[in-house]
Amino acid sequence: MADNGAMPPITELTRIEPVLLEKLERQGTFTTGLLLERSETATRRQYLADQLDTTTNDVLTWRDEALMLNLASFGPADHQLLIQAQIEGLRDILSLSGDAFRLRILQAAIELNEEPPSDATIAGWWEQARTLEDE
């Protein structure tokens, strides 16, 4: 079992209704890693959607954001930066070229008056998103 401390809590997800977040927590899904595990296959996504009385599209949306939150060396401040850059999940990263992704993040850092992540970190996120694309 992975160390739960390393996985962001599901409360980091911004694209999930609070009532559904509470239901997930009541079921013992406290981290984005556990959410990814519970939504790994189409069958699991359907089962989770049925349990929460929601749609598989909702589950896919949460999964998309959870995959982004689980990128290596990605923290809460980085999540705020990507929200500012209008990047809400893995699909948004995949829709951009590496250069466009980098420029969006640098622009968001300027808007938030924050130090941007290093180019190596930004490139790492983009590359990692590409490897997760098929999941």
Dump pLDDT digits (tens) for 92-135.
999 999 999 999 999 999 999 999 999 999 999 999 999 987 65
132: phi then psi, degrees, rounded to nearest 5: -85, -10
Dump pLDDT digits (tens) for 80-91.
999 999 999 999
* Residues 68, 92: Cα–Cα separation, whole Å: 10
Q: What is the pTM of this model?
A: 0.87
User: What is the number of other CB atoms lying within 10 angstroms of the CB of residue 5?
Assistant: 7
User: What is the number of other CB atoms lying within 10 angstroms of the CB of residue 120?
Assistant: 9
Q: What is the pLDDT of residue 135?
A: 57
Quick one: tokens of 9? 């809590």
C-beta separation of 33 from 2 below 8 A: yes
Type of residue at 24? L
The answer to whether residue 3 scores a pLDDT higher than 60 is no
The answer to whether residue 74 scores a pLDDT higher than 60 is yes
Mean local confidence (pLDDT), 29-50: 96
